[in-house]
Amino acid sequence: MIAQGQALPDATLSQLGKEGMINHKVKELFAGKKAVLFAVPGAFTPTCSEAHLPGYVVLADELKAKGVDIIACVSVNDAFVMKAWGETQNAGEIMMLADGDGAFTKALGLEMDTGAFGGLRSRRYAMVIDDGVVSLLNVEAPKTFEVSKAETILASL
């Protein structure tokens, strides 16, 4: 599993924008920026939709006031699903990034197999990234939601 002090792996994450599909090279996306990246097991799922993403939507301005350039949500879903989920959650300040094949999640070592529920998914986590390097990594224990909350990350900045 990736650790604090390590650079993000080479990977590509997708985002569906107004002009169509954007494929972001992870190293380029986070180069020279302070970012908060949080991951959810699945778009439109209960904890993700009722608490995790909404917390970042509500605290986006406060996170940016602390010097955060990018707030991004990533999930092993496709870009169409991530865009639709972001729209239903009024997540205009959040980059909704798709890790369609789970390659980024696997490169981080943060994948989990949910079997018939959805197969390969991401563990729930949040990280602070400084110029492509993980400066804080909070990974949730199974079936918990504490350390990756927006409030927890905001308090750490």
Active site residues: 48
Distance CA(84)–CA(87), nearest Å, equals 5
Distance CA(101)–CA(91), nearest Å, equals 23
| Full DSSP string of 18-79 | TTEEEEEEHHHHHTT-EEEEEE-S-TT-HHIIIIIHHHHHHHHHHHHHTT--EEEEEESS-H
Burial profile 30-50: b = 16 or more Cβ within 10 angstroms, e = fewer:
beeebbbbbbbbbbebebbbe
